[in-house]
A and B are shown apart, each in its own frame.
Chain A
Amino acid sequence: MYQKEDAKSASGAPQLPPLELQRRKTDDSIADSLYSQPSGVEQYLKDDIFNTTIQNENPAQQFQDSRQTNVDNTRFTPPSQFKPTQPQMRTEPSNYQSTPPPQGRSPPRDQAYSTYGAPPAQQQYSALPPQAPFTQEARPNSRPNSAQGRSHQQYPPPPTQVNHPTQPPQQSKQPTYPQQQPVQNTQTYPPQNQARVNSESRERYSYPPQQPPQPAMRQPQPQQQATARPPPQPRPMSQDMSKVRPPPRDRPQFITRPSEDRIGTDILDMPDPFIPSLGSLSLNDPYPPPQSIPPPPTQIPVSKAPIKIVGAPLPLATYPTSRPADAPAMQAPISSPPISSGPPKNIGSPPRAPPLTDDWEVEITSQRDNATGTSDPNIALPWAEKVYMFVSISLDDFYRDQDIAAADAGGTARASTPPFERGLRDDCVRIVERFAKQGHPKAIYMRGIWFEYGDFKYPNDRTEAYRAYQAALKQGFARAEYRLGKMYEDVGDIKRGIHHYDRGVSQGDSAALYVLPAHFWLLISREWA
């Protein structure tokens, strides 16, 4: 045999190398391909054409970019174009206002997310608080069921606003609430909030108000921009965004912190420090939405006339805006002595630790006036979300101790909610109810969650929750698909549940993207649902 092959090769027709050599060569090529072959994550990252992760060298700009992306992620999801095939239970009477879906084809699966950052037709939301004397005198013509300033709203939105999605909301009629000083240092605890306590400062509306100390990354900006916003300008294609991009005015005043070297960095505001070190495996969104950057401000004429506020000043908060300094973090359970939160906070420099609950308290308190006074849902609703998380965690902890103690004593008595948490909860409920009445999908969705789980003193009403999710879904809020699917799955209707999950996946929603493969494909435990 070997002689035959040798003879064949010697005769010349097929120039095959000897068998040994050939085998070795194939082995080498296999090894080469193994070494050169990218790993699975790299492979599908490379395959996807929408993967446009920007690796930036400049850390300052990276910080700004990630901050911008993080803030943009909380934007109002644009209404999508599908029509829900689920039978509508019944339509809500005029409290829910659905945005008319824009004309045109629905974008494909991943492009639908690529327009995520761009705000849709900006809806105008009037400011909290909905107290009657203020709003009635200011806007006598408003309807009774929407007395809290629906007159600012424009329904249906004019076509010019639809065509220019970056057009900011006009806030000419909005009173400028006194800006509140951001807490510079977590050591000064509890933070002092003067803005809420002083009634004269609310009545005066000193214009321009005293310049609040801006965080370090922002350039100071005159407060006159509260009255009118500049017209949209085409964004210049410059790389140095820190010079071009104006500091966003309506953003919440985050606590300025040295980014990574302390416990208690704001998790929503924190730049993701992992991207450069990880190479291709980005921990952020592998398909990041394009950054939508507000247009640079142009010089606008500002009227020098003082703003007149019609109506009575806002009633003051009846709840304590911060916990007294000597009070314990939570009322002590009956049987056991109080447990303060564990380790001392500022020892060493631990990397990237989430804030302890005390730090959350400071942060939430410092943003409280800003969130309750604004008409911008992008400020108020993330704050409300954080408050919901904070209050439910701390109340759960509180009642857990109480229940254990009561079980020992043989009863079921519970102390009343601590006043600080009650005040935060009421503020949160007011914000969410207000925006839900004006039809903001995220607020409707949050209300639905409270109905579903009976949180925040809401009745445990799954029908109402279903209705709320459908209403949010009507405006294209993708997370509601996950909740609806979960409701169907809990009832036992797996097919409809999967149908909703599928639609959530096709809109790129995180919860649906998790639940579908984790529960149905990879058979991961359902413990974390």
Chain B
Amino acid sequence: MMKLMGQKGVPANIPEGVRLLHQSAGRADLDAPQGAFVFALLLAGEFNGVNVPEQILPHDERAARRMLEKAASLGFSHAQQKLGSAYENATWGVEYDPLMSLHYYTLAAKQGDQEAMMGLSKWYLCGGEGFSPNEEKAYIYAERAAKMGLPQAEFAMGISFARLC
């Protein structure tokens, strides 16, 4: 194993790395769900800095989505937030579904994910199929995200204050 290592910070042996990540994704559990999430991102080609050749790991949106769902069901908040935004924007091969988006955003916001809080705030502002708009909740979630330091949420808070004046 040590032979394959480059120096720290030097990418080395991408096929072996992808292989290990696939194994890790298969064995992910409650204690270590990161493998499934990272492998999902690799399958979807979400990493800008990492160029995994198509020959080594083909782009597979469907498998990426399933991996992401696995990571989310293991309680990984980043995966839950990604799935929430996927259901919101109909990316990652999922269909547009406001209720599912709300579900995943709620799970991620419970774990303190700021972007998920902001997504919840947007959903509650405009409403969707299956739930009605709720400006109070929209305000609360935006306020929380803003207090945790998300610039987008601070902007939203500013807009809401500007409207009040």
What is the interface of chain A, defined by CB distance below 8 A to chain B?
39-41, 44, 73, 263, 267-268, 270, 272, 274, 277-278, 281-287, 336-337, 339, 341-344, 347-348, 350, 352-354, 356-357, 385-386, 389, 393-394, 396-397, 400-401, 404, 407, 479, 482, 494, 498, 502, 505-506, 508-518, 520-524, 527-529
Contact = CB atoms under 8 A, between A and B. Distances in A.
B8 interface: yes
A354 B147 CA distance: 28
A378 B107 CA distance: 27
Q: Identify which of B20, B37, B56, B141 gathers the most chain A CB atoms within 10 Å of its CB.
A: B20
B136 to A, nearest CB: 7
Interface in B15-69: 15-32, 34-35, 37-38, 41, 47, 49-50, 52-53, 55-58, 60, 62-63, 66-67, 69
A389 B106 CA distance: 16
Contacts of B55: 39-40
Contacts of B23: 285-287, 508, 510, 513
Contact of A41 (B9, B38, B58, B107): B58
A517 B32 contact: no
B137 A339 contact: yes
Contact of A281 (B28, B60, B99): B60
A506 B141 CA distance: 44
B130 A522 contact: no
B104 A353 contact: yes
Given A40-B56, A40-B57, A343-B130, A494 B20 contact: no
Contacts of B6: 520-521
Contact of A352 (B22, B69, B136): B69
Contacts, number: 205
Interface residues on B, range: 35 or more
B122 interface: no
Contact of A354 (B26, B27, B73): B73
A404 B112 CA distance: 12
Given A343-B130, A348-B99, A348-B130, A524 B50 contact: yes
Contacts of B1: 502, 505-506
Contacts of B18: 40, 517, 522
Contact of B32 (A343, A479, A524): A479
B22 A286 contact: yes
Nearest to A510: B27
A184 B124 CA distance: 32
Given A354-B107, A521-B12, A522-B11, A528 B34 contact: yes
Which 10 pairs of residues, A with B, have the shortest CB-CB distance? A517-B17, A513-B24, A511-B32, A342-B106, A514-B35, A510-B27, A354-B73, A285-B26, A40-B56, A521-B17
